[in-house]
Amino acid sequence: MNSKNKNMISRFFFWLVVIGIFVYMIFPFYWMINSSLKSEAQLQMTPATFVPRNPKTGIFAPSLINYKAVLENKPFLRGIQNSVVVAVSTTVLALLVGAFAAFALGKLRYRGKTASLYIILSMTMFPQIAVLSGLYFVIRNLAIPAIPSMILSYMLFTLPFTVWVLASFFRALPMEIMQSAQVDGATPFQTFIYILLPLTAPALVTTGLLAFISAWNEYLFALTFTTVQPSARTVPVEIALFSGTIAHQTPFGEIMAGAVIVTIPLIALVLIFQQRIVEGLLLAQSKDRIHRVLNEL
Amino acid sequence: MANKKVAFSELAKGEERLALLLLVPTFIILLVIAIYPLGSVFVSSFTDRQFGTHQPTHYVGLENYRELLFFTVKQLPPVIDPATSQPEIDPKTGGVKYENPFNVLPKTPKRYHDISQFDLFGKRYVIGAIDQYFLPSILDTIMFTVISVILELLLGLGVALVVNTAFRGRGLMRAVMLVPWAIPTAVSSRMWEWMFQSSRVGLFNVIGQILGLTDGNFPFLSNTAFQLPAMIIIDVWKTTPFMALLLLAGLQLIPKELYEAADVDGANKVRQFFAITIPLLRPTIAIALIFRTLDALRIFDLFQIVLAQSRFSMASYAYYQLVDYANMGTSSAASIVIFVLIVIFALSYIRAVGIQEE
């Protein structure tokens, strides 16, 4: 066998692996879309078909009936609205509060810095389940509405992470910027608001996106806190508890249509901002960063 | 001179005051939603607190923990046939018939339930626990965690190595890898639940039948032997791409010159992989493993949505005790057990991979 043939064969196998990985990651979505375009009768066809087909003739026949049902489903639409309110408020609150703390951690000198950094770092790994019954008890006893409860409690996983990532961005800004602003008579706080914050705008976008996605996808707190107030359910809870117009049978067609509707905006966000998201994830998790931050103190 | 010093320390003091002021909101929020609730969960784990009753709450000491965690192992004696004084044979299994665990396990002060049986040196033993579900949920969650994290690491490494080579469509591939990570677990759980349906409306039964592996009606999600593998399959699908992205970033930090030098020295690709790639990727692997393990140990969404109460993860057990049974005491104790387990895992990992030292 000459080397040219060998090269061809290895290229062939390489592409086989690439296509295999691609199909593995994408196929479940294809199946979700495929199922969402099937009517109840088409869903019950055995064996299941790889495209929606007319049960009798076998001709390609997609149906939009599930989408129609979902878009007329009041709880589902309210779920989207709740999710938008919760995710947007969580993101704004986390960025606002987080940027303050991150500025202190990243640029100011004060006693107790090491301790506060360690606390923030350990909080990024805090398991939600550990505080579930405590929060639920307070919310039920004080009858706090579910939506503000969710927004505040989501700080548990968005805030430490936001502070951590933003602090490393602030630290990377040269000290001279602050010093020259101070020479010009600006207080540290003015320097922060008018000079440093605009410089970290890209970082705010990155952390904001990650906070938004994690708040949009959150399920445990949303499910628990809305047990007494179903009108406040967010989309993941609606999808998980979905029971359609047909009783006794799980309406998978409608569930899949709902799933497609809530997934598309997320996929769009991810594709548009993929570079930033990857960057943010790496910042949050890289050992290098953890080292550098702790060593620089 | 002295004036300057005063001015400087004034400035430093101002900076310190500002820092504390800026940190206060974050720490107040964390106090209200993390530290205080954790304390109250800890306290109520020693009580018999219930929701929706007017009965007063009592301190019960370690009772909740005892009920959740205590287990006993007893030997099951064979049933002796009085006529022949030989062990009876179970007509169904063809093996020796053993005593009913109910008669062997302790009943006071709390009844022990049969959670598992095993054979050792020709004798049959039964494991009994006061709470039928929590100990199995710990074992299931740890099994789930270990197997899925290992699979995710291996598959993720494979995907990262492939995507790390230059080829057309690499950008698209990297974008696609973010998609399973980004969608809500609620959505992916229902998506896979549908594919695992127990008849040929489900994808896997169609494929299984085509390949001759199932009769087309295999109950993937209610078959106890397949429940855990199904959870692992779904979790691996959702998190492998994320793992791959982390590892890919690590791969890109390895200097190309090292491989070029190895090529010159005549080391083949396999050697290069074990001598260069793996050692230099170790820190990245360590971080990825820590985050994935801590995530997997607290798995909730997937188990709660797909298996509901037919099989529990630790977190879904704590959830059902709280919301469906209003047992705040039991739920809190279970939460504290999870918390302690996660802390132990995190600390031992950090020790093992040495985040602290250079």
Q: Please report residues of B whose CB lies closer than 8 A to that of A235.
A: 184, 186
Q: Please report residues of B whose CB lies closer than 8 A to that of A105.
A: 23
B10 is a domain residue? no
> Which of the two residues, B263 and B11, has the higher pLDDT score?
B263
B16 is a domain residue? no
Q: Please report residues of A whose CB lies closer than 8 A to that of B188.
A: 28
pLDDT of residue A297: 45
B177 is a domain residue? yes
Read out DSSP for A41-97? HHHT-SSPPSS-B-TTT--B----HHHHHHHT-HHHHHHHHHHHHHHHHHHHHHHHH
CB contact under 8 Å between A287 and B355, yes or no, is yes
B123 with B141, same domain: the answer is no
B11 is a domain residue? no
Asked whether A131 and B339 are in contact (CB, 8 A), the reply is no
CB contact under 8 Å between A129 and B189, yes or no, is no
Asked whether A281 and B281 are in contact (CB, 8 A), the reply is no
Of A21, A132, A217, the CB nearest to B184: A217
Question: Distance between CA B337 and CA B149 in Å, rounded?
Answer: 21
Say yes or no to pLDDT of A114 above 90. no
CB contact under 8 Å between B200 and A220, yes or no, is no
B330 is a domain residue? yes
Q: What is the biggest distance separating any 2 CA atoms in chain B, rounded to whole angstroms? A: 109
Asked whether B132 and B320 are in contact (CB, 8 A), the reply is no
Long-range residue pairs from B54-62, CB within 8 A, at least 24 positions apart, any chain: B60/B329
pLDDT of residue A185: 83
B278 with B203, same domain: the answer is yes
> How many Cα neighbours within 13 Å face the side chain of A230?
8
C-alpha dist (Å) from residue A275 to A52, A139, B148, B184:
35, 39, 27, 20
CB contact under 8 Å between B176 and A263, yes or no, is no
Task: Report, as an integer, the average pLDDT of A117-127.
Answer: 85
Question: What's the domain range around B200?
Answer: 134-353
For residue A10, what pLDDT band results from cuts at 50, 70 and 90?
Answer: confident
CA of A287, closest CA in chain B: separation in Å? 6
pLDDT of residue A213: 92
CB contact under 8 Å between A286 and B14, yes or no, is no
Say yes or no to pLDDT of B356 above 50. no
C-alpha dist (Å) from residue A282 to A8, A279, A290, B171, B242:
36, 5, 11, 17, 11
B141 with B78, same domain: the answer is no
Say yes or no to pLDDT of A273 above 90. no
B24 is a domain residue? no
Number of domains in chain B: 2
pLDDT of residue B354: 55
Model pTM score: 0.89
Instruction: Using DSSP bridges, classify how beta strands B113-120 and B71-76 pair: parallel, antiparallel or unpaired.
Output: unpaired
Question: Distance between CA B336 and CA B342 in Å, rounded?
Answer: 10
Q: Is A72 exposed, middle or buried (0-12, 13-18, 19+ CB in 10 A)?
A: exposed
B236 with B184, same domain: the answer is yes
Of A219, A266, A269, the CB nearest to B301: A219
For residue A243, what pLDDT band results from cuts at 50, 70 and 90?
Answer: confident
Q: Which of B129, B147, B167 is the last residue of a domain?
A: B129
Say yes or no to pLDDT of B137 above 90. yes
For residue B1, what pLDDT band results from cuts at 50, 70 and 90?
Answer: very low
Task: Report, as an integer, the average pLDDT of B184-206.
Answer: 91
- The number of angstroms, rounded, from the C-alpha of A221 to the middle of its chain's C-alpha atoms is 15
Q: Please report residues of B whose CB lies closer than 8 A to that of A259.
A: 187, 190-191
- Cross-sheet strand order for the sheet of B113-120: B71-76, B123-129, B113-120
Q: Please report residues of A whose CB lies closer than 8 A to that of B206.
A: 46-48
Question: Distance between CA A247 and CA B157 in Å, rounded?
Answer: 45
Tokens of A249: 């049978």
Say yes or no to pLDDT of B57 above 90. no
Say yes or no to pLDDT of A214 above 90. yes
B167 with B124, same domain: the answer is no
Q: What is the pLDDT of residues A163-203, one digit of tens each?
A: 988 988 888 888 888 788 878 888 888 888 888 888 888 88
Count of residues making up chain B? 358
CA of B119, closest CA in chain A: separation in Å? 36
Put residue A49 in one of left, alpha, beta given phi > 0 → left and psi -120 to 50 → alpha.
Answer: beta
CA of A219, closest CA in chain B: separation in Å? 7
B274 with B171, same domain: the answer is yes
User: What percentage of chain A has pLDDT greater than the value 90?
Assistant: 46
Say yes or no to pLDDT of A35 above 80. yes
**Angle, nearest 10°, between helix axes B36-44 and A132-141?**
100
The closest of B319, B178, B152 to B234, measured between CA atoms, is B152
Say yes or no to pLDDT of B5 above 70. no
Of B113-127, B189-203, B237-251, the range with the lowest mean pLDDT is B113-127
B336 with B315, same domain: the answer is yes
Question: How many CB atoms are closer than 10 A to CB A186?
Answer: 16
Say yes or no to pLDDT of B315 above 70. yes
B113 with B262, same domain: the answer is no
Say yes or no to pLDDT of B122 above 90. no
User: Count of A–B CB contacts within 8 Å?
Assistant: 283
What ipTM, to 2 d.p.? Answer: 0.89
Of B23, B30, B180, the CB nearest to A25: B180
CB contact under 8 Å between B15 and A127, yes or no, is no
Question: Distance between CA B68 and CA B318 in Å, rounded?
Answer: 11
pLDDT of residue A17: 92
- Please tell me whether residue B50 adopts helix, strand or coil conformation: strand
The closest of A141, A51, A19 to B37, measured between CA atoms, is A141
CA of A203, closest CA in chain B: separation in Å? 19
How high is the mean pLDDT of chain B?
88
B316 with B205, same domain: the answer is yes
CB contact under 8 Å between B178 and A274, yes or no, is yes
CB contact under 8 Å between A133 and B180, yes or no, is no
Of A45, A110, A239, the CB nearest to B186: A239
Domains of chain A in start order, with CATH, are 3-63 (no CATH), 67-295 (1.10.3720.10)
Residue A5 backbone dihedrals phi, psi, to 5 degrees: -60, -45
pLDDT of residue A291: 55
Tokens of B17: 């005051």
B42 is a domain residue? no
The CATH number given to whatever domain includes residue B220 is: 1.10.3720.10
B202 with B325, same domain: the answer is yes
pLDDT of residue A3: 72
> Which of the two residues, A172 and A90, has the higher pLDDT score?
A90
**Angle, nearest 10°, between helix axes A155-172 and A201-217?**
160
pLDDT of residue B304: 95
How high is the mean pLDDT of chain A?
87
pLDDT of residue A289: 55
User: What percentage of chain B has pLDDT greater than the value 90?
Assistant: 43
pLDDT of residue B35: 93
Say yes or no to pLDDT of B144 above 50. yes
pLDDT of residue A149: 95
The closest of A106, A141, A122 to B339, measured between CA atoms, is A122
Of A104, A113, A287, the CB nearest to B22: A104
Of A132, A227, A285, the CB nearest to B246: A285
Task: Report, as an integer, the average pLDDT of A263-286.
Answer: 80
Question: How many CB atoms are closer than 10 A to CB B40?
Answer: 18
B122 with B157, same domain: the answer is no
pLDDT of residue A248: 59
B148 is a domain residue? yes
C-alpha dist (Å) from residue A17 to B130, B155, B161, B162:
50, 12, 11, 8
Of B185, B242, B287, the CB nearest to A287: B287
pLDDT of residue B97: 82
B98 with B220, same domain: the answer is no
pLDDT of residue A245: 55
The closest of B76, B7, B60, B69 to B328, measured between CA atoms, is B60
Question: Distance between CA B260 and CA B273 in Å, rounded?
Answer: 13
Q: Please report residues of A whose CB lies closer than 8 A to that of B159.
A: 21
